[in-house]
A and B are shown apart, each in its own frame.
Chain A
Amino acid sequence: MKAKSIKGYCRLAACLMLVFSLAIHGDQDVSKQQLLLNALTNLKQGSMAEREQAIIQLADNGSSSLTILQALLDGQLFILKSDDSLVIGADNNQGYDIRDAITGTAKGAVERTDVGKINLTNKLRVSLRKIIGQLQLSSDDPAIRLAAVKAMGNEEDESALAILKAREGVEKDETVKQAIKVVFLLKDMNSGDKALRINAIDALKEVNSLDVVNRLNAMVEKDEAGNFVESDIDIRNTAKAALININTRLQLYSSIETVFFGLSLGAVLVLAAIGLAITFGVMGVINMAHGELMMLGAYTTYVMQQLMPNNLAFSVLLSIPAAFVISALVGIAIERGIIRFLYGRPLETLLATFGVSLILQQSVRSIFSPLNRSVATPEWMSGSWQVNDFLSLTWNRFYILVFCLIVFVLLLQILKRTSLGLEVRAVAQNRNMAKAMGIPTSRVDAMTFGLGSGIAGVAGVALSQITNVGPNLGQAYIVDSFMVVVFGGVGNLWGTLVAGFVLGIANKFLEPFAGAVLAKILVLIFIILFIQKRPRGLFPQKGRAADS
């Protein structure tokens, strides 16, 4: 049986060569079109021999017929009985949603009985799979090529390997080339020649692939009877050495991943805390409604998406300024309406703003319902960046990290370069002196509070991309963000940045041992103890301002 199928395949490959050479020499456009039509006519004929013929013709047509071939393999290629045309159908439970196989235009839904499926034999299916692999291998997209290499590497077939070998010579993309190399190294590893095997294992230890790790692990393990799976001790030792080598790298990558997750958690904390750092540091105001201002920002994103459901990416970008404005306005209203009566009584501002937070929470609950709202993530933010088999970084976390840094730098520049920033710093250092110098402190207070609140709103936009948007969103972050501010040292933006990242990373490094909840508890206890040692945080304010 096996010999027969190999023979069949050789014949197919020979035909392929022939067709390839024909295509190269022929008048490209006309002959291609003609070939495609010919192939499809053949496909519609009943006999398997004709279908085989058709598949070969289609294969020659290059990547453009890949969808047809794939559909054929998946059993989704049909003949529409009404007009005898070829269609690709997707099952919709009642029947099929069909589209034209050649042009790809949708042709609506049909009953199951309206179409006839084009059947395949197992033998044809095997060769079809190879042809598809081959076509994918010559695709322009490296990702498709990579997937094809991996799929073909798993097949124990000489001819598939021959195709891969040929591809290795012309492949330009490093990752794909590497993947092909790994396929052959793995093959060498299982060969009979000891020197070849040892060389292969030696070469594989530099490769970052889970597949390699699994294979190597299998080699050094014992079977149920207690004997080593691999009887040769030299090979076992080489495999062990290679595993150690790989595991060191694996650990390195997992540390990188942890640091990345820590940084992204830290970025969220910094975003949440930095607005608080301004109001707390500059004005000595404890804004318990800060979390709710973040919640408003998140809901702004939600509303923006409802307003423009067709333009997701744009709506998220537009939400950033919108959330800033809305939260800043609410913040200014809080400052003018309540907080300005309470200056010099920080504990009272805590209570009053807590009252505001309750009102804001309940308003959102009454307007939007107490249930969580889902905010969609634009396409460019979803998915992850697969660095290699051992390391993949999610895009949304990556963007939040970048976003956090942008916000931080902007805020720093506002405080450093603008006249508002100058006034804010002056008031923070010495309120009375600033007043004496003619700075309108009460206007500066309102603007500062607005700025801090606006940043809370912007943080809310970022949060909406990673958590559920609900009335309790703010509450979840308020204790954490206070911790960050206090840990970093009040009135110091750099302190907040460092504190946020340190706490984020510490949290993520503790999580594997302690679990998420215990890690959080440990971090809280650490901060409580840290405050005892350095009551003014990591970077305490110096000078007179610190005394007040």
Chain B
Amino acid sequence: MHDRKTLSRGNNGLGQLLIPLIALAILILFNLFRDPGFYAIGISVNNSGNKVLTGNIISVIDSASELAIIAMGMTIVTAATGGQDISVGAVGTIAGSIFVKILKGFAGINIWTVLLGILVCCIVTVLFTSFNGMLVSVFRIQPMIATLILFSCGRSIAYWIIGSATPQIISPIISAMGMTIPGIPIPTPIFGVILVALVLVLLFRFTTLRLYTESVGVNQGAARLNGINPVAIKMLSFVILGICVAIAGIIGTCRMGQVSLKTLLVDIEMDAILAVAIGGNSLGGGRFRIGASVLGAYIIQMLTTTLLAMRVDPVNIKAYKAVMIIIIVVAGSPVIKRKLSQLWNRLRAGRAKVAVQKGGR
């Protein structure tokens, strides 16, 4: 089976972006016809006296930040291992609780303690995801099974770190990280997404890492014979995911000002995998586009916000979301694509024939 995977699998031109872009365009047009006021952007003054941009679009881009960051990491893990990490939500909670634990360990919160917190948080999270990575690369366990371990006990570990009390962390620095920096009206998490995206784009555009990751994902044996170390590449993908998860966990924590073990990044693993799939990346590994996954993340958030704006009960959103997801994945399914291209070819062939016949006469 592995021999049949070739580099050409997972149609990777701009065609990959076609379905998600159409989906996004339909959502945007739908909202435009439903209520043009949906796109209104205003400026208001928040509790701490800063000017902030408000509006549905800003809220979509802002609240999809954690999802977008994790989806980027998930894309790389998916590409390298051909499987998905389902423990990201639980590990993100661990990240958040480590961050809070460190900040609470110091008397006051200043820029240095926050930086130290971020650093330690990244290291610990990377250790946890490396555990997953070790199971996947060294023990050759399916990623979904390997990460099921931390999925089922990650939140318990977070509880063990932070204890039953969920302390509030109140500081201008924390609210600047979770909401807006004074003087800049754009929510800070958006800058987090841009930063992570920039680093990843630079990493994969200007190094050979992209080629190595795709090779390992397409055919591990062939990659090894060509001198690529699959174990190292897979571990590296989990390390990158770990940093993404740590950043998302910190953003989520700062946004709420506390770690709530039950609600922080809950169900985000499912949404992140969905974002990867909606973006048109193959879940079986191989070639990937990070931008497509980010687009997928914004589509999911746009969908949720649209449904909320239509006054759908928040608990019922899942059902409508499911229907939309099914429509998007059916439209992007290989069989439908094949049928459409056959139809297209036949139409063109028919037209050519007619032209030939006309020419003959």
Chain B associates with chain A:
no
Q: Which residues of A contact B (CB under 8 A)?
A: none
Residues of B within 8 A of A (CB): none
